Every structure is written in C-alpha cells, then in structure tokens.
Chains A and B, each alone.
Chain A
Amino acid sequence: MSDSDQQQGLRTPKKSAEPPDLLRVCGVTKSFPGVKALKGVDLHLKAGELLAVIGENGAGKSTLMKILAGVQDYDEGEVLVDGLTVRFKGVEDAFDKGIALIHQELNLADNLDVAANIFLGREPRKAGLLDKARMRRESSIFLDRVGLKVSPDQIVSDLTIGHQQMIEIAKALSVDARVLIMDEPTSSLSQHETEQLFKVIKDLASKNVAIVYISHRLSEVRELADRVTVLRDGDNAGELFRQEATHDNMVRLMVGRDISKYYALEPRSHGAVALKVDKVRTIQNPKHALSFEIKSGEIVGVAGLVGAGRTEMLQTLFGVMPALDGSMEVQGHSVVIRSPIQAIQNGLALVPEDRKQQGLVLEMAVRENMSLASLGRDQNKGFLNHRREQDISREMVAEMKIKTPSDLQEVQYLSGGNQQKVVLGKWLAMKPRVLFLDEPTRGIDVGAKQDIYKLMEKLAEEGVAILFVSSEMEEIIGMSDRAIVMHEGKLTGTLMRDELTEESVMQLATGTQTKPISNN
C-alpha cells in the first residue's frame, strides 16, 4: 500500500566512504503451510545502534528474528552481514558472524552453575577434561561486563529471573556477539531489574554492539531505541526515529489506524462491598496478613514488583492454594474457600497469569473452553446441554469479537489476545460477582489489549468487582479506580485514582514508603 515511502526511509545513502551496514535484510519472505509470515521485509542496522522492532502479535517479528539468528531459514530475499550475503544453516553459523538471539523464554540449563551455562557447548578443555579454572576466570570477565555480581559457581536455578537474563547476555558476549537480538527481555523482570538491564544495554551499545530490541512495552521502546522499525502483517509498516517515536505514532503504525483514547476510564459510581478480605495469610508469605475490600463496580489494580506476592494472593483468594488463616466475605456473607470449586460457587472467577497452562485446554475447541466452568451449572442430569453450550459460546465470540473461523476451532490456533478473550468468556458465562485478573494483557497485541480494557469497564458498569494484577505501570495508572500496592508479600498502601503516578506507585512497590490501606 504505502510501501514506497517506507522504502525511502530504509534506503541508506550510498556514500562510498561509509562502511556497509553491519546487518542488512532485503525483501525477505517466509511461508509456513497455509500462511505467509513474512512478505518481503527490509531491515538495516549499524554497529552500536539500538533498533527496536515492534508490531502486533503475528506481525512477523519473531519469525524475522529467528531467521537472523539462524534458527530458521527464509524463502526469498537476502541477508547481508558486513555487506556480504549470508545464509545461516544453524545457530552456530549466526554465532560465527557475531549474531546472538536471546529468547523470550530463557534457555539456560538451570541445574548447572553460571560458568557452565556461559560456556555450554563450547567448554574450554585441557587434556580432554573441562578446564574449570579457565571457565571460572573468563566467566567473571563477562559477568563484570553485564554488571552482575554473582559467583560463577552459583547454580542458575538459585538466581532471580533478572539475573538469569543477564547470564544469557553474558553468554552472548562470550561468543563475541556484535549483534544482540533480545525478544521481550523484560516480560518477566521487575522494574528494578528492568532498569539494570537497560543500563547494560546502553553500555553495550556505547561499546559498539548493535542491539535489536523487541517489545510490546512502548514506554521501554521510547526510552531505549535510536530508531524503531514497525512491522505489520509480515510487512514493513514504517520507521520512526527517536524524536518521532511517540506512543501514539507507534500504535498507529502497529495497528494501521488511530487509537485515540487508549485508556478511556470514565468515572463510575460504586456499589456495596463485594469482597472483603480480612487478615488472610498465604502459604508463600505467612508473615503478612492481607486485608482490603472491593466494591461492586470498582476496578482495583494490584501493583508491585515481580515476587511481591500478587499472584500468590489471587491464587489464595481463589482457593487454588488454601489460605493459612483469615476470613473472606462475598457481598456481606462470610465464605470458606479452600478450592476453586468453592470459589466459583461463591461467585468468584480468576483469569490466571499463565494462560496456556492454567487458563485454557489448548487442544479443545473455543466452545468447549468457553463452557468448561459453566458445564456443571448448565447440566441436564449429568448430560451436556449442547444447545446452551453453543448459544453461550456464540454469544461470547460475537460480544468479545474473538477472531476465529468458528467456535469449533481449537484454541491453540488462536492468537494470544483471542485466547485471553476465550478465558475471559469462560468466566463471563458464569456471571461472576468478583473477577480476579492476573496480568490480563501480558503478551497480547495492542488491539486485543484495548478490547480487554473496554470489557473490564463494561463489566464494572454492570456491577462486577474487578481486582487485577499488572506489571505494566501504564495499565495500573490507566485502568485502576484505586490501586493497592504490594512489596515482598505485604500490602504497603492504597492509591486513589487521582494519586496514581509512576512515582507514587514505585515508592510503595519498592517499600520506601507505606500508606495506610483505605477502601474508599
């Protein structure tokens, strides 16, 4: 469509004095059975440059990165390193050219120590045996470069996710990576760990390492990137330089239309108390008793760093892991919840953090997932009520704009956003009074995110009390009527909508300040 002007931006001026680009991709295509994932993508990168690649899920980011890292082959087009055409036969080929990919899911052997992981597959040997002294010595150098103060002898599984990420980077540096591709590196990092990672990334860039940074988090992109390449539907959608890379510009290129109001939270009046939590203690954080209330029609965000105990709190309230003590009331009635069955009977619902493991039966159809929680209610003396199952599922698919050829499609073939909508639909069919959402928009694209925000608002208007955990600051600030903040298992404070700023949340989340819990 508007390819021509974008191509313009990509073309580097042909000055003979200037060295060729470190990495250059021209018109690369890639097809999978039944789908063309890349339709001729261009990309270029200079040494020491920090390039962000963004796009909705399915835009082709991951495929492109896998091609660059030698994980996958491409069909047509050309990839050039230092101006020479290359075609990687495997990850080792890419390593040889100095290109390393750090996957979203970390690929560490977490039963081994740090040094063993850094040198996995390339262990230095002396007389046929592992040269452990050398491994330890050289690991320290790379650990220093990423600013990580851990011993090379430490077992990886004992480290935090953030530290593990750093080890992946150290590992990449140990193969002399000149291009470091990072796929959603911050998706499971805390704010603090993220900041540390950014420091390392900027430092590497200043030492002439080129970085390709893939993320859904536009605020991060804005902070880091020298340049942003936007992909859409397997094609280049445009390019933005640092000063043009505003939130709105990026979103417009990603979705191909204007999203005027991203968070459109209208003030609402709240009803009576829907859920009262009184001195509940979780197995994971037995030192702190949790007490708070949510009113019907209220959207309460739960902020905090990774490991603050937010997921554990939701799972305890939902009965996945029974509480040690404390009590709960739903709409004024005292309830005992020691299993999800009891939680559901009392009108609670949980959209869990791990959609694929806890939320969905991937091999089952949209319809079967949608009805899973309500089968018991809609049963006909133990028999399935097919009619009702179909009605509910079709209604939900239409209402939530789930993109699927039919509601008999297996959910594993749906995109992340549509999968999340199915999980939501499953609970909406139960008409819950209290809805818990754990990272409801993690890893889903901008369009679907907005659909989910709208849905949360609609439910709140209908009187559902919503408690949602999020690690995205923008989401907490944008969506919460009120936010409660946790730090190391403890509720450190409540912030009303007008008090919500990035600063106020961080102060409570890092435990530098506390503020009494208020339920109004």
Chain B
Amino acid sequence: MRKLIILSAALAVVLGGITACGPREQGKSGKPRFAFVTNMPASFWVIAKKGVEKAGNDFGVETSYHMPTGNAAGQKSVLENLLARGVDGIAVSVSDPANQTDILDKIAKKTILVTVDADAPDSERLVYIGVDNYTAGRQCGKLVREALPGGGKVMIFVGSVDQDNGRRRRQGVIDELVGRDSDPSRFDPIDKGVTGNGYEILGTLTDQGDPARAKANAEDTLSRHPDIGCMVGLFAYNPPAIMEALSQANKLNKVKIVAFDEDNDTLQGIIDGTVSGTIVQNPYEYGYKSIEVLVALNKEDTSLIPENKFIDIPARTIVKENVVAFWDDLKIKTGETEAGE
C-alpha cells in the first residue's frame, strides 16, 4: 500500500511537470499570432515579457513568449515548433548568430522574422531591434573612467564572449578605456592584457553562467591583483557576485564596481554607493517594439523600418542621481508594484 501511494505521488509530480510545460492554447480567436523567443532564460526577459503582453493588448493581437534552455540547439527546436504550429511573425534574440543563419532564413521564407537584442546580420531578417552592444560597452567604459579618473587596473567579468552581446560589450569597454576609435569588429584575445590611457585591463574572466564561479573569479582576482582598481561585471549576475566577493573580503568601496543590467542587488548597490553605475538596456521596450513592428509588417506597412534595418533602443546609464526613479518605473513594469501605488 505504502509503495502505491509513493508511486502515485511520484507520478502526479511527473505529470504535473509535463502539463506545465505543454504547448499553450492558441489560435482560438482568429487574431494574428506573434511569437517572442529569447536566447536563454533570465530575469531580464521577464521584463520583456511585460512589454510583449502590453503590446499584444494595445494592438489586439495574440502573443506567445518562449524562453528556451540549452543554447542554440534549444532555441532551434523552439523555432521549428513555432514554424510547425504556424505563426504570423517571430521576434527572436539569436543565440548563435554565426551558425543559425540557415534556420533563420528558413523562417524568414515562411513568416515575418525580426531579431531583437542579439542580431544575426547575415540572415534574411527584416530588421534588428535592440541596442548596439558595442556602443553600450563604450558607455560602460565611460562609467569606469568616471569611477577611476586617475587610471588603474581593471578586470572584466562576463558569462561568455561567444555570445555577440558579451563580446561586443567587452570590446566597447576596452576601446573606450584605452581611447581607441570605434571599431566593433575588433577583438582582443581574452587572456591578453590591454594597456593605454593610464588604464591596464588585466583580462577577461568567463564563468559559463555559473554565479558561484563568477564569485570565485572575483575572489581569485583579489588574490592575484590586490591592487585592483575596478571590476566590471557585464552579465546581470556578475555585479552581485562581485559585490558579494568584495563584501566578504571587506573591500567594498575600496574597489570600484561598474555594472551592466538591472539586477536588484546592483540597483541597491548604486543607492548604497558601492556600485558606481550600471548600463541598462530597455527590455520592456524590446518586447513592446518587437510586437509593434511585427504587427505593422503583417499589414505590409514598412514605414517603421529604417534604411539601415536597425531600430535603436538606446541603453541608458544609471547612476546614483537617477537610480531611484528608474527602479520605481521598473517595479511598475514588472508588476512588482501596481501602477499608481
């Protein structure tokens, strides 16, 4: 008897898991359907989802939202499922631009395709909506210059440089610091230091998305370079990991932190003064704009598409002065606080 109960409990858990992951209801109303596909699951995308939903309501279309796991392969299977199911348009943040051109072109033949956040410039996508990560990186570099006006040693922390965003952000930071011209195609090897303008960029440490590793990287940097001046965290979880490492080493405020993205801990750090500033994208706007563009294109209205096929949603610099206003707005958009509260 006892075995039976345990078995059925286990079964219930399994079945529960399956139905929770199952395909969503779709196509009941005959309205156009648009899909928004992220490159990986992240808090960042939860904000974009709000924008997608808002635009869906505003334009009276159906939207679906997908956060594939498992990198390029996982994203590919989600895209293929969408094609099989049939949608009127897809906005996608491309996982692996260099190698996904084929599948993207296939999609572009069958439905309307735009890229968002991470672009695949060689594909047949109609437009790219997002930030120029290189420019955003240079913005981040400016923050480092302000944090360390007299120059000093800088280490960069990032999940990976395989992804276009990580790679371009990092290059932007480096180029800005050593005062080079803008050239997004430049790439400094990650282990090689770059020096110039009084700044010494010691290198770049990657963590493959493991936050514990990100923290260990920051700690190892403190061991190796006790005289480090500034730590730059380029993925959302990097700045909190750096803060934790510094706090445990009693070096908060002694080593500057420059951040990327809007993790709660990062924003709190800016308020407390332990983080000099952060560069935020506008994921809500990514979501909203994507649906707006897809709706227009579905009506064969191309007026929203600029000549260079790039709709810029500029990154913003958040520092102590504007952090509170930004955070409040963010909370409303993510539904953490109700509007007008």
Q: Do chains A and B touch in the complex (CB under 8 A)?
A: no
Residues of A within 8 A of B (CB): none
Residues of B within 8 A of A (CB): none
